[in-house]
Structure 1
Amino acid sequence: MEPHILSFPNEITAEIFTHFLPPYPDRPSVVGPLSPSFLLGICRQWYDLDIQVDDDELHAQQHHLLQLWLQRSGNCPLSIELRNFESGSLRRRSHPLMPAFLETMLCHASRWQDMHIFMPYENLRQLEASVSMPLLRSLTFGPDNLHRMTDDTPERPMHLFTQAPQLKAVVLSHSFNPFCITLPWSQITTLEAVLFDDQFFEILRQAQALESCTLWLNSQDFESPNLPTIPTLSRLRYLKVEGGTKEWAFFLQGFLRRLGTLPALESLHISEMFLGPDPVDAICSLRPRGYPREIEIWQACASLDVYRGAFPEAQLAISA
């Protein structure tokens, strides 16, 4: 009979995982020499623990497994993805056990490091608890139903993750609304988001530490006089902007004018329709002294030669 994996000396088991699995928090590939499937030749059985709240018959067992998993993880940093599921619902509602799952996870919030949290808005109130999260460094986050809420949209915004001093990187869900949920924007250095015009400016006027920003813009009204002024983002080195159609080009050109100058910008990735009738001049106005080292333009009408003549030392990628 083949020996069970647990009967191996700890040193051998540790070497197996050291050589076949990538360093935390990177994930292994599904197939290939660095995939967990290679360990199938050693481990007779692999148990895949997938914590999801999507089956009434299993939720009690899954909650128990979550508690057991958190207990056995000791003092190790945690990377967790928690999503709410309700099959067949046009409007996602909270699963009855979602509060219990979140409460269990909050008991270990001091070990949170890389978190993915998507759930109905009403459950997010639990995150307002005064809980220290000293290790939290990246967050993929947002409600999965706020865009469907109307009359029940709250008057008082939630202030979340206020005790997470190491939180620097944030990816927001499509339903995130900064007028209903606030994060510690002043410390965020990396942001990815799908936003409307007023939401975009509400965040950027507070996120003065941003170094990298990837945006998909959902609105055409960048010429609105009601939009707030954005202070200069003096640390922003990477900017990628997507969104809109050619029919919106006139309105989208106001985006960069609202954004102002970006003195530290090194990498720009943007559709030419955001740049207006003179795209070269628009790029130069972003960084009056010099220009970005890396420039990627798509939906371009101007030729590569035009950009190469204006930015001879930049790494260029131009596509129609």
Structure 2
Amino acid sequence: MLNTLEVDRIQFAELDAQILHLEHQLAELQSKRAVVKARLDASKYPVLTIPSEIISEIFLHFLPPYPQCPPLTGVDSPTTLTHICSVWREIALSTPQLWRAITVADIDSGRLHIAEAWLSQSGCHPLSLLVHDRIGDDVERQILRAALISQRARFENLISICSESQADLSILDGPMPLLHHLELDMWSRGVSVTQEIAPLLRSAVLSDTACVLAQLPWKQLTSLTLQWGLGMEFVTILQQTPNLLRCVLLVTSAGGPPLPEVRLPLLGSLTLGTELEMTEERMFFSLITPALHTLRVSEQCLGEDPVESLSSFISRSACRLNKLCIIHHEDGPLRSLEQYQFALPTISNISARSESDAETDDGMSHG
């Protein structure tokens, strides 16, 4: 019994000694940790020293240039910026310009709440909207319509794609005092936007059906794109647009009697195209553009003798072209670039591009 107690006393003393040794080691480690922590606390990460207003500006450059609309979700959405850290989240949510360009498409209940949040977070800034009529069930349509109508006074750029016969266009039925640019792609329902509704409207892009169904304050427009419609439909509109400075016409019609004359006294830039396998020179021959300085035209729009057609057009319009781009088929132009340059020596910049290259510019696409 005494031997056992003696062993325990010895072991107890050894354990005390080990504990004391470990406590000394822990104290030394804590001292070293305090020194390292002090150095870390004294250090400042450069990104955390940037003023909030500069970070806000950096965030704005993360997005596509306004008025392009980023997606509501995903890595290209401004919501990504709210997932980095609490500081950046606060900055992002307090930067209303991040939320002013909104894509409203493929809406379900979740995306609907996101769109409503963006409308709120954008504050009082003008809005750029891409609205697709396929937005879920009737309840979601009604909620979204009410949300958009409540913000209609802030519409600045609006792209409306209405591919359903019962598409709701009521968001366009009231005052839009800031609206500057409007794009309409409609299938079967008309819309009327008057000068009183949109006094600042200056730019419009219309699909083939929209050319027939839309009524706009044509006289106040300075930029107009008409896509894949009939020549006579274009003439009807262009005869009401004397203040155009820029125009893109993509024509589908071919053949028939000459089109009525269209005089566009202020037009400086014109793009005229047609479908790949189609020849449509009537639209080109109908235009009188005395202020034109830049022309991009498909060779199929110039008739059997493109060089002569251009010479006649310049003479008829009495314009002073300084830039001409000929758009041709993939298998090559009907005339060489040298022929154009020789016949039109007063034009300082003459170039040629294939149809596929031109599709990326000025709406020259078949979509």
Normalising by structure 2, we get a TM-score of 0.65
Contact 1:139 1:167 (8 Å CA) reproduced: yes
Cross-structure match for 2:273: 242
Q: Secondary structure at the match of 1:264?
A: coil
Please list every run of at least 4 consecutive aligned residues from structure 1 whose deviation after the TM superposition is greater than 6 angstroms. Answer: 34-38, 44-50
2:51 corresponds to: 12
Q: 1:217 aligns with which of 248, 251, 256?
A: 251
Does the Cα contact within 8 Å between 2:270 and 2:292 map onto a contact in 1?
A: yes
The residue number in structure 1 matching 2:66 is 25
CA contact (8 A) 1:189 1:211 kept: yes
Identity of aligned residues (%): 24
Task: Name the Cα RMSD after superposition.
Answer: 3.7
Q: Which residue of 1 aligns with 2:305?
A: 278
Deviates more, 1:63-72 or 1:40-49: 40-49
Which residue of 217, 234, 239 maps to 1:200?
234
User: Do the aligned partners of residues 271 and 132 (structure 1) sit closer, same or farther apart at CA in structure 2, a change above 3 Å counting?
Assistant: same
DSSP-derived class of the 2:281 partner: helix
1:85 corresponding residue in structure 2: 134
Counterpart CA distance in 2 for 1:158 and 1:202 is 17
289, 292, 305: which one pairs with 2:321? 292
Quote the residue 1:102 is aligned against: 145
Question: What amino acid does structure 2 have at the position aligned with 1:133?
Answer: M
Residues 107-133 of structure 1: CA deviation (Å, up to 9, x unaligned): 21111111121123533441453x221
Displacement of 1:13 in angstroms is 2.6
1:159 aligns with 2:192: yes
1:183 and 2:216 aligned: yes
Q: Distance in 2 between matches of 1:198 and 1:295?
A: 25
Unmatched segments (≥5 aa) in structure 2: 1-46, 93-97, 355-367
1:141, distance to aligned residue in structure 2 (A): 1.9
Kept after mapping to 1: 8 A contact 2:125/2:154: yes
1 CA distance for matches of 2:168 and 2:221?
20
- Higher RCO, Cα 8 Å, sep 6+: 1
Q: Is the 8 A contact 1:112 1:135 kept in 2?
A: yes
Q: Which amino acid aligns with 1:176?
A: A
Deviations 1:211-265 (A, max 9, x none): 11112212113x336x5x344111111111122345x43xx12222222x21111
Which residue is 1:75 aligned to?
A: 124
Structure of greater Rg: 2
The size of the alignment, in residue pairs, is 281
Q: Secondary structure at the match of 1:176?
A: helix
Equivalent residues in 2 for 1:120-135 (5 A)?
A: 120=164, 122-127=166-171, 129=173, 131-135=174-178
Distance 1:188 1:95, change over 3 A: farther
Structure 1 or 2: larger helix share?
2
